[in-house]
A = this chain, B = another copy of it.
Amino acid sequence: MLTKKKIPQSTVWRLSQYLNCLSLLSSEKCREISSHELAERVGVKSTQIRQDFHYFGGFGQPGCRYNVGQLIGELEAILGLDKPQNMIIVGAGNIGQALAHYDKFEPLGFRLKGIFDVNPRLFGLKIRGVGVRDVKELPRFVKDHHIRIGIITTPARVAQSVADLLVRIKIKGIWNFSPMNVTAPEGVSMVNENLSVGLMTLSHKIKGG
C-alpha cells in the first residue's frame, strides 16, 4: 500500500539501492531475506531499512523475513517503475554513447528510442539498434514516440537551452549529465547527475570511514 507521504531524496536513493540488491538476489533464486541481511549487503543499518520500509505500509517488524518478489514489486511501484517509459538521449558524444550502450536500464522498464545530435557525421550511427538523428527532428519524434524522459549529455554551454527545448515539447523528466546544473520549471522533474559524488564516497572510505 502506497502512502502519500513525501519521501526524502536520500531515502529514494536507498530504496534504489535496495531494489538493485533484491533484483540481484532474485536472479540468484533467493526468495526471502531479513532486514539484517539486506542491511549488510547494502551497507546501511537494519533499523534504517525498517524505517525506510514504513514509507510503503505495514512492513518493518524486527527479525521478520521479507518476500523478495513482493518487496521488488513494492519498490518498483514506489519508484514509478511499474510501467515502461520511453526516453531519448540528446548529445551523442562519449557519455551519450556510453549510456546508449549501457544495458541495465531496460530491465527497469526504461526504453531508449532515439539519440540526437547536431553533428551530421554522427547521423545514422546505430547503437544497439537505436539511430542517431538530427536534433531538428526532436520535437516531432518526442510527440510521435510518447517520450517521457530526456537525457542531456551535451557540452555544458548548451545544456540549459536543450533543457528549455525539452520543457517546451512537454517532456516529463530530465536527467542531466552535462557538468552544469540545469533548471526546469515546476511540473518537469529534474535530476542533475553529479559524477563526483561516487568519487567522494570512495575517498571517504579510503580515509577509513
Contacts and interface: CB of A to CB of B under 8 A. Distances in A.
Interface of A: 6-10, 12-17, 19-20, 24, 42-45, 48, 78-81, 85, 93-95, 97-99, 101-105, 108, 110, 148-149, 172-175, 179, 181, 189-191, 193-207, 209
B45 A8 contact: yes
A97 to B, nearest CB: 5
Contact of A206 (B93, B172, B198, B209): B172
Contacts of A99: 195
The copy count of this chain in the complex is 2
A89 to B, nearest CB: 12
A108 B201 contact: no
A79 B200 contact: yes
12 contacts: A10-B10, A12-B200, A12-B201, A15-B204, A16-B197, A103-B179, A104-B194, A108-B199, A172-B206, A175-B199, A175-B202, A191-B205
Contacts of A199: 105, 108, 110, 149, 175, 191
Contact of A197 (B13, B190, B203): B13
Most buried by B among A6, A95, A204: A204
Given A80-B203, A80-B206, A94-B98, 17 more contacts: A6-B209, A9-B42, A10-B14, A12-B201, A13-B201, A16-B201, A20-B194, A20-B197, A79-B203, A81-B203, A95-B98, A108-B200, A149-B199, A149-B202, A189-B202, A189-B205, A191-B198
